[in-house]
Each structure stands twice: as C-alpha cells, then as structure tokens.
Amino acid sequence: MSNTSSNSKCMQFFRRNLLTMLTIVGVFGGTIVGLLLKMGSEHWSEREVMYLQYPGDLFLRMLKCLIVPLLVSSITSAIGALDLSMSGKIATRAIIYYFTTTICAVILGIILVCSIRPGSGGMVKEVEKGAVTRHVLTSDTLLDLVRNLFPPNLVQATIFQYRTILVPPLNATNVPLQQYKITSEFTQGTNVLGLVMFSVVLGVTIGKMRDSGRPLQEFFTALSEAMMIITSWVIWISPIGVFFLVMSKILEIESFGDMIGQLGFYFLTVMLGLFLHGFGTIAVLFFLTTKRLPFGYIAKMGQVLATAFGTGSSSATMPITIGCLDDMGIDPRVTRFVIPVGATINMDGTALYEAVAALFIAQLRGISLTFGHIVAVSVTATAASIGAAGIPQAGLVTMVMVLDTVGLPAEDVTIIIAVDWLLDRFRTTINVMCDALGTILVNHLSRKDLKHELDRVDAEPHELQELGAGDTQIKE
C-alpha cells in the first residue's frame, strides 16, 4: 500500500513537471551537443548554422506571434476588471518595485566593477571598423522613449518603433553630435511601450463605462484566454526549440580562447552581479515584503527560466510566465497587468550589465572616472534598461547611450560582443525571474483590496449599500 502510494506520488510529480524537465534537458542537451559539434569541426558556415537553428527559429516565431494580441488583451482585460482606484494601487506598487530593483541592480553592478576592476591592465581588443550602430545623444534616446509612449498609428506600432537619427553635415569633419542634422525613422520592431500605454488607457476607459463597457471587456477577456490556450500548445515545442537555439549559439562562437582570456574577468563580474541581485537583493526585498523566502516560487519557475535562457527574450517568454503564475494561483487581474508591463520596462539584468560594461570599457581604455561620471552612468543605465526592447541582445543597442555618458565611442560596443550572447541569456533569465517575483509580491500586497473588490462584484444591490456603509464607518 505504501509502495503504491509512493509510486503514485512520483508519477504525479513526473507528469506535473514533465515539460519543465524536458526544457531543462533541452538547454543542457543543446550545450553539450553544440560543444561536441564544435570540437568535431572548428569552422561551421553561416548556412550550416542556419539549418541547425531552423527549428529553434520556428519556435521563437510562434512565441513572438502571440506577444501583441496577448499583451493588449491581457492589460486591457486586467485593468477593465478593476475600478480606477484599484488599478492605480496595483500600478503604483508594481512601478515602485520595478524602480527599486533596477536602482539596486545598477548600484550593485557599479560596486562590483569598481571593486574587482576587471578592465585594469587589460589589453584593448581591436575595434571593428564600421561597427557603429548609429550616432545618438542620450537626450535623443530619452526623448524617443517618451515619443514611443504615444504612437501616431496603432497598427504601425505593432511592427515599428520611432527613433531619432543624427546625420553629419556634408563636407564637415570633427563636428560635435549636437550640431548634426536631426532626422528620424521608423525602425522594425514592435513598439511595446506604445501598446502598453494604449492598453492601460483603454482598460481604464472600459472600467469607467461599467455596464455599457461590459461587451468590450468580455471580448478582451475571451481574447486573453484564447491566447493562453494557444500558448499552452506552443510551449510543448519549447524543449526542441530551446535545444536548437542553444546549440546553434554554441556553434557561432569563433574562439573560446578569446572569449575566456580577454573577457573572463568581465564575464565573471557580470555573472556575480546577476547572481547576487537575483538571489540576494530580490530575495531580501521579497522576504521583507511577504515574510516568505522566494526560493520555493523560483523552483516552480523552471519552465519559465529555461525558456528565458533559451530564447534570450523576455517578451517571447511572457506568455509562458503568465501561464506559470496562473498555475501558482496568482490573481489573473494582477498577473495580466504586471507581467506585460514588467516585460516592457523592468530590465534589472540589462541595467546591471550596462553599468558594468561601460565602466569596464573605461577601465580598459585607462580612463579614470569621477564620482559624477559614475552617477551619470547609473542614471543612464537605468533609463537605457527601460528603453531596451525585450528581444535578444537589445542591450547592445542601448549600450551606445551609456558609453556616450562616459565619453567613449560607439565602436567600443564591439569589445564585449564575444560574450554578450551568453550574458544576454543570463540577464534575460534574471529579468524574467524578477518580473515573476514582483507579480507575486504585488499580489500579496493587493490581496485584501482584490478580495474587497471581488465582494463588491459578487454582491447584491442591498449588500453593496451595506459595503458602502462599512466603508464610510472605516473612513470615519
């Protein structure tokens, strides 16, 4: 009887965690097979890598296809289901949490890079010519961030982002960037910030419309549920997709010696920072707020974290994160608002990495930084992380504005490219974990308010009067 019960529990555990275990096997399997293939042949052509990466690309395309409809429907339905004051409370708690953790990540990164000094005495890698992403000022990037909050065309916002372009004057040399001609363009990539802003406003509007807005609310709720069902189908492909994505990235490494030799201390500094932030800073904040340790929740996120590592995209992982938190019993109204917003603006790992990278490059170049420079780097890295898209290696794009703060040329981004693909996966994993724990934390802080509102929704008219009277007595 005891053996039967034990076997039954083992089978239940296996069934419940099968997908998570398969995805983790996909990560390690892809790494091992990639290393074996790399040892078998040093040179793999771009076309051969493309063929091997093809199944992973298909998986990534499926996930990305779900982002826009899931993001819009989730935020709109979540906010529409709450009254305005409740939406404001949840949004305030989430933003305070995100802002606090991002600042902590940047400060931790700066402390580590100034203590360890991974760039001291290092050899500067030859910078590749023509590797400049674009001419840009920090102020232009920040202004573009606000501009993208208010897209002129919603359909366009699903596929393009606005950005400022500085064009050098004709036949002029050594002209400062401030005197370049200001132009603009719409670059390919979903304007997630604009869609989030529109969804929030639409959700608030539906909430204020009450009964007349109910059909629209039901539409977005149904759409959100449909997207989650499709997500549940897609995630069963994740072990295969993650396997091929990781394997192909291993094969793309040109030289393990260069990666470990020149950038080893930098890599270890960033990894130490990510580990201390994820399992130290976040854990302490979580415990102080909820009086519970977060490690039990993290253990249940194996599927989410493995997918985040394999795809390198917090946006692509968003549908899986929402599904995982739903399974944990987190209130869907909180999950469907906090997770999409977090995947857009909360990039703790990216903020830490950009602060470390800028100071590391300055150390390599032998540039001594004042306290003012370090403060400027911390502020710019925080702003850059908010503006970073939730896609693989988006941090390299925003790194340009952080380097500009220290007075370093944009070409210096290429110094860290050799290890960026791997660090990108680790910092994405921390970003996603931070979003998930933040959602649990906000849900914990909002549980009384959510229950009170649920009582209002389910109450009869005469009960609503009693609830209102109770509120009045409390206020008095």
DSSP string over 456-469: HHH--HHHHHHHHH
Q: What is the CA radius of gyration of the chain?
A: 24
CA 46 to the chain's CA centroid: 28
Segment 389-421, tens digit of pLDDT: 544 555 555 676 677 666 677 667 767 777 777
Distance CA 466, CA 453 (A): 14
Tell me which of 311 and 455 has the higher pLDDT. 311
Distance CA 80, CA 442 (A): 18
State mean pLDDT over 434-438: 93
Cα three-residue angle 52-316-248, rounded to 5 degrees: 20
Give the H/E segment covering residue 181.
strand 181-188
Q: CA torsion angle for 283, 287, 293, 298 (degrees, to 10)?
A: -40
Residue 89: per-residue pLDDT:
85
pLDDT digits (tens, 9 = 90+) for 262-302: 578 888 899 999 999 999 999 999 999 999 999 999 988 98
Looking up tokens 């500085």, which residue turns up?
A: 166
Strand extents, DSSP E, 240-399: none
Note the pLDDT tens digit of each residue in 107-146: 998 899 888 888 776 555 444 444 444 566 767 777 887 8
165 has a pLDDT exceeding 90: no
Q: What is the DSSP letter of 159?
A: T
**pLDDT on residue 475:** 38
Q: What's the pTM value of the predicted model, to 2 decimals?
A: 0.76
Residue 469 has pLDDT above 50, yes or no: no
Banded pLDDT at 218 (limits 50, 70, 90): very high
Residue 346 near residue 434 (C-beta atoms within 8 A) = yes
Query: How confident is the model over 45-64, as pLDDT tens digits?
Result: 888 888 888 998 898 888 88
